[in-house]
Structure formats: C-alpha cells, structure tokens
C-alpha cells in the first residue's frame, strides 16, 4: 500500500494514496496519532484501517511521510561502487583513508529538523555554502525495532520505504571532516511524497533516477549497492537499538554534482526530481536565500 501524510482544512491527516485517480483516502485516527504522520501506522495491520471518503490530491497539502522524525536519520556513505570512486577522487572525502571502495558501511546522520516535503523549496545560502549538491536515495523505514539484528532476520524489521534527497554542502563536508553539518543544513532532507509498505517493491532490484532541470544525472539499480539493506540494518543495530520509525537512507549512485569536471553544483531556480520505481517521484526547487 502507498501512504501519505497531508494537511486538509489546517489539520494533519494520514491516508492511503491511490495513484490511479490521484486521490487520498484519510484513515480514521486521532489528531495526536495523525501528528506522527506515517509513524502512526507502524504497529497497525493495513487491512484493519478504517478509510474515509476519498479526497482529490489537488485539495490537500502533501507533507513528508514523517514530518519530524523522532531522531536523526541514519545515512550510508559511498554505498554504490561508481559513486564511491567519483567521491574518493573529488578531494572532499574525509573517509578516503579507508580506500576508494569502503570495506565496511560508512554511517552518518542528518538531524530531523532538516526534513521537508515534496514541493517545498530547498534553501541555498551562498554566505554559508557555495557547493550544494543532490543525492538520490532509497530510504528504509524500520517497523520493528531491535538490537543485534542478524542480516538474515533484518527484512522482518522493515515496514517499508520512501524517497530521500540527501542534499549536501560539499564545501562544509570537506571543511569539517565529519559530515553532520554539511548534511544537516535547514531544508537539506526532502522526503516522500509517498511511503510504501515493504511488499510494494523488490528492494534488491529497484531502479532509481535523479533528474536535474530535465537532465538525467543519476541512474542505477539497488542491485549495485555495495552493502545491501540487511547488511546495513545488521551493522547499525549491532550496538545501536533501532526503534520503529527509524529511517535509513541507503546511499546514492554515481552522477552527483561533485563528480563532474568542473563540479555542477545547484543554483537558484534548479529543480531536482528523484524517481524510484514502485514508490514515485520527489521534486523540489532550490532557491537562494541569504540569512
């Protein structure tokens, strides 16, 4: 099933998205539960949901599936082989000492406050960064928490998937060695617009693309991941207890702006569209705003 978090009449609601007629059917739930977004559904049987009358998508304001995640978003760096190579050659890679292609997953995070919705503007502040880049990523939504999860058991802990654009200030990423600041600038985590249950896609064989101003820049398949989803979950949960609602961005393929010679960073007015088969498309405009 496909779910969206949205606002109608000033109230946050969660509903089932029907792509055939571009409508959403709100789910009957309290306003307190609706404030959790899709997170309110993680412990519910989709077949037991009480659905209300359909509303045209044009009549609602789509929000991120998790408008404010309960804690930092886990992210995996250099997880597609060709991207690992292009990033290692860029001069901004503080993990280069680990080798061009990592032997173990590189895990970092983005703060939850940087999450924005499909259609929202991403802010570029030239006084802070002049090297803003895009990164198309499949994101995993944890439904059942746990610690010490084995790779062979990991998929039972996955509720579903969504789309994330791991927007990055490359100059800050290089300057501070740790990636948190360059990855967590305000508005630097577009997410959504849809969250799908795990049965909707084959996470081991799913196509993803990133299109900038109509030009395809990234195109890959999750078959190309260096570390697959079970390995990522096992790595993080080895000592960090995962909780329902945790979001894990699985890495980006080759074709990011820093990989071009010269780099092709985002500028005022650029539109970035991330498409993942079986989920949909996440699109945002980048707008210059000075502090």
- Residue 77 near residue 106 (C-beta atoms within 8 A): yes
Give percent of the chain with pLDDT exceeding 70. 95
Q: What pLDDT score does 95 carry?
A: 57
What residues contact 119, with CB distance under 8 A and at least 6 apart? 62, 193, 283, 284
As a whole number, mean pLDDT of residues 251-276 equals: 96
Check residue 285 and give its pLDDT.
98
Phi, psi (degrees; rounded to nearest 5) at 240? -115, 120
Predicted confidence at residue 174, as pLDDT, reads 87
Lowest mean pLDDT among 81-85, 190-194, 230-234: 81-85
Across the range 171-187, mean pLDDT stands at 93
pLDDT class for 92, splitting at 50, 70, 90?
Answer: low
Q: Give pLDDT, residue 153.
A: 98
Which range among 132-136, 174-178, 221-225, 227-231 shows the weakest confidence by mean pLDDT? 174-178
At residue 85 the predicted structure's pLDDT band, cuts being 50, 70 and 90, is: confident
Report the percent of the chain where pLDDT is more than 90.
88
Query: What does the pLDDT read at residue 169?
Result: 97
The tokens for 44 are 């519910």
pLDDT band at 47 (very low <50, low <70, confident <90, very high): confident
Q: Residue 234 pLDDT > 60, yes or no?
A: yes
Q: How confident is the prediction for the chain on average, in pLDDT?
A: 94
Asked if pLDDT for residue 98 goes beyond 60, the answer is: no
Supply φ then ψ for residue 276, to 5 degrees.
-130, 125
Q: Does residue 246 register a pLDDT over 60?
A: yes
User: Mean per-residue pLDDT for 45-68?
Assistant: 95
User: Among 59-63, 92-96, 205-209, whose mean pLDDT is lowest?
Assistant: 92-96
Give yes or no for residue 99 having a pLDDT over 60.
no
């Amino acid at each position: 099933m496909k779910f969206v978090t949205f606002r109608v009449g000033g109230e946050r609601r969660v509903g089932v998205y029907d792509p055939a007629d571009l409508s959403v059917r709100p789910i009957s739930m309290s306003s307190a539960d609706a404030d959790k977004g899709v997170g309110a559904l993680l412990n519910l049987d989709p077949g037991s949901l009480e659905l209300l009358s359909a509303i045209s998508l044009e009549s609602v304001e789509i929000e991120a599936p998790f408008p404010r995640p309960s804690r930092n978003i886990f992210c995996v760096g250099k997880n597609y082989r060709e991207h690992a190579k292009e990033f290692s050659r860029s001069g901004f890679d503080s993990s280069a000492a680990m080798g061009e292609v990592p032997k173990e997953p590189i895990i970092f995070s983005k703060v939850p406050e940087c999450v924005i919705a499909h259609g929202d503007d991403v802010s570029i502040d030239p006084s802070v960064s002049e090297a803003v880049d895009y990164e198309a990523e499949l994101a995993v939504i944890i439904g059942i928490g746990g610690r010490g999860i084995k790779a062979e058991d990991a998929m039972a802990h996955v509720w579903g998937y969504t789309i994330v654009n791991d927007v990055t200030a490359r100059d800050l990423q290089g300057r501070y060695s740790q990636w948190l600041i360059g990855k967590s600038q305000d508005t630097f985590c577009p997410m959504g617009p849809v969250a799908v249950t795990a049965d909707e896609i084959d996470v081991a064989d799913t196509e993803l693309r990133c299109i900038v101003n109509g030009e395809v820049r990234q195109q890959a398949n999750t078959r190309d991941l260096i570390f697959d989803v079970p390995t990522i979950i096992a790595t993080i949960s080895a000592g960090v207890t995962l909780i329902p609602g945790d979001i894990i961005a699985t890495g980006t393929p080759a074709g990011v702006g820093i990989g071009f010679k010269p780099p092709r960073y985002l500028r005022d007015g650029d539109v970035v569209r991330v498409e993942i088969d079986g989920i949909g498309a996440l699109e945002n405009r980048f707008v210059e705003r000075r502090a």
